[in-house]
Amino acid sequence: MKVDINNSLLELQDGDITEMQTDAIVNAANEHLILGGGVAGAIRTKGGPEIQVECNKIGGTFVGGAVITTAGKLKIKHIIHAVGPRMGEGNENEKLKNATLNSLKLADENNLKSISFPAISAGIFGFPIESCAEIMLKTTIEYLNGQTGLEKVVFCLFGNDSYQIFAKQLKQEIPK
């Protein structure tokens, strides 16, 4: 599913984020930037140990924050490590909004033209996928309606169920 927003394309895909061909992918990170399981584990496995070495040099970031590294052996140029909230820690909606927004800003600051997001916090962090879709899509649409150099934002979702939830939400956000 694809929609035009301002001068940018917002796209939903069901697939493997490590195979995306955007300038950067977003890693759903933890605050210590340890590449463990889920999206981070796939990035570590396919991208190689040099990504973790870079993350170790950075040391970490706050929940809602984002940092950027190179992408090791992956096809892309960069990885933006965004720290989403764990369900139950408090103020989760605002923290997820900030993780999304800070990733978009970091992409612009680094003159990137395209970025791919996973459903941040919707995996092992336990954030409800429906709320994740609403917050991430609203934040991205609002950002793309402002001044940005981003030409393409992809939500690369793992599995048809997640894709359908995001597609339903996007249809609500962008009425025909």
Query: How do residues 7-61 score in pLDDT, each as one tens digit?
Result: 999 999 999 999 999 999 999 999 999 998 888 888 999 999 999 999 999 999 9
Judge whether 173 and 138 are in contact, CB under 8 Å.
yes
Q: pLDDT, tens digit, for every residue of 118-164?
A: 999 998 899 999 999 999 999 999 999 999 999 999 999 988 999 99
- The fourth-level CATH superfamily of domain 2-173 is Leucine Aminopeptidase, subunit E, domain 1 (3.40.220.10)
The model's pLDDT over 104-118, given as tens digits with 9 standing for 90+, comes to 999 999 999 999 999
DSSP state of 18: G
**pLDDT surpasses 80 at 176:** no
Token digits of residue 156: 């690369």
The domain locations on the chain are: 2-173
For 137, phi then psi, to 5°, come to -70, -45
